[in-house]
Amino acid sequence: MNHNASYVRTEMLEAKDPPIGEKGAVKWIRENLFSSWLNSILTIVSLYVIYWVLAHITPWTVGGIWNAESLSQCREIRDSIYADGHEVACWAVISDRWHQLLFGFYPSSLYWRPILALVIFGAAIAPILFDTVSRKLLILTAVAPFAAYWLLWGGTIWGPIVAALGFVIGWAILTKAGPTLGTLLATILAIVVPLLYWLFLAGPISGALGSALPIGIESIPSDRFGGFMLAIVIGVTGIVLSLPLGILLALGRQSDLFIINKCSVVFIEVIRGVPLIVWLFTASLLLNYFLPPEVEFDLMLRVIIMVTLFSSAYIAEVVRGGLAALPRGQYEGADSLGLNYWQSMQLIILPQALKISIPGIVSSFIGLFKDTTLVVFIGLLDPIGLSNAIRADAAWNGVYWELFIFIGLCFFIFCFSMSRYSMWLERKLHTGHR
């Protein structure tokens, strides 16, 4: 073959950069904002709406007043700065009452206790949320709920210790008596016996130990809780407790055992069929009638119980959807390996079902955290209730937007964080079809 012909290339041309319109930000803008005449019009209209909103909100927000002792003083400062009566935000109400919005009426000298409880909770939940964290912290995970309760409410140290003993009793029954009594009976006893222990024995034992060895810190009643501390305590406790309970209810609803199946179905349908606000009123007014006369739960603990039961019913349906989405071959594969029911659920079925259910579970958790604002209707001072109390003060009567923007921003931070973690976990586990 003759390589001297004029149409035969003897050397490669140097690579050239793509045109400006085919790379970088220009390419992204052309493909995503101006890909067609309709998208171009929508982009221009959207930019104008964003400009109009920012032009009206930014001066009110950025030019706000942070140092004042009352709304009238805010207006005096505003009038001295803006002669034309320009409206600006009075952020001084946040500067003056931020501690109340966050901690309610908790004693200011003891703010370190809820802060320390939050730090302990963050360290305790880290090994559950992230697999790169040392598994040794799981010991702190087991201790954290009781330590956080003691730090928040105070009192004798024996209360949390005696309560923790109930879980030890349930674990001992499940592990020691399981091979003898059978898995099902041992599981039922591991639930019933600790409940009876907490109802009838934990209180007297804790009282006796407290009298003999009075070790503890200052006790804080539940009516001093408020603000975002109250929302976090109710929301986090409901989230942590409702997930395992919801999984058990989902398994119970799919069980072949008639009594377990029907009890799970009735519980789920009854709880889901009634609004949360009704259950909160039930917790506030009626729950004590169903308990022994000597047993008393304060209002906040009753609300936590009811919120947990309400959330668990929704979690159960989300998890049941994940279980139903698995092919029948997964169950048959577990049977072919000779695994019993609990082994197959733990090792094969539930990991896959929970991966599928991640978006629904996190959505339920976000909804639960936002629904904590409903406790204002039964007399608990959540952030919304405290905003009403602050506005009832003559000094800040007439302040609205500043308080609600601050409250909404705090809720957004919590909910957005849960949403981003959910998306990260889905990517990590490769959930979904490709």
What integer pLDDT is reported at residue 434 of this predicted model?
44
CA distance 350 to 343: 10
What integer pLDDT is reported at residue 343 of this predicted model?
83
What integer pLDDT is reported at residue 37 of this predicted model?
87
Helix pair angle (138-153, 112-129), 10° resolution: 160
Question: What's at 258, amino acid-wise?
Answer: F
What integer pLDDT is reported at residue 83 of this predicted model?
67
Which tokens go with 108?
Answer: 């200011």
Give the list of residues 6+ apart from residue 80 with CB closer than 8 angstroms, or none.
none
What integer pLDDT is reported at residue 2 of this predicted model?
53
- Percent of the chain predicted with pLDDT > 70: 91
Could you give the 3-state DSSP secondary structure of residue 217?
strand
Taking CA atoms, 12 is separated from 8, 15, 253, in Å, by 11, 9, 69
pLDDT tens, the chain, 434 aa long: 555 556 666 777 777 776 665 667 778 888 888 888 899 999 999 999 999 998 888 888 887 888 888 888 888 888 888 766 678 888 989 988 899 999 999 999 999 999 999 999 999 999 988 888 888 888 888 899 999 999 999 988 998 999 999 888 888 888 877 667 666 677 788 888 888 888 888 888 888 888 888 888 999 998 899 899 999 999 999 999 999 999 999 999 988 888 888 999 999 999 999 999 999 988 887 766 766 666 667 888 889 989 999 999 999 999 999 998 888 888 888 888 888 877 888 888 888 889 999 999 999 999 999 999 999 888 888 899 888 888 888 888 888 888 999 999 999 999 999 999 999 988 888 755 44
CA nearest 145: which of 170, 166, 131, 172? Answer: 166
What integer pLDDT is reported at residue 364 of this predicted model?
92
Could you give the 3-state DSSP secondary structure of residue 297?
coil
> Phi/psi of residue 156, each to 5°?
-70, 145
Helix pair angle (138-153, 158-176), 10° resolution: 150
What integer pLDDT is reported at residue 296 of this predicted model?
66
CA distance 74 to 88: 9
Give the list of residues 6+ apart from residue 126 with CB closer than 8 angstroms, or none.
133, 137
pLDDT tens per residue, range 170-201: 888 888 776 676 666 777 888 888 888 888 88
Chain-centroid distance of CA 130 in Å reads: 16
Q: Got the DSSP string for 231-257?
A: HHHHHHHHHHHHHHHHHHHHHHHT-S-
Global pTM value: 0.85
Q: Got the DSSP string for 120-149?
A: HHHHHHHHHH-TTS-GGGHHHHHHHHHHHH
- Percent of the chain predicted with pLDDT > 90: 35
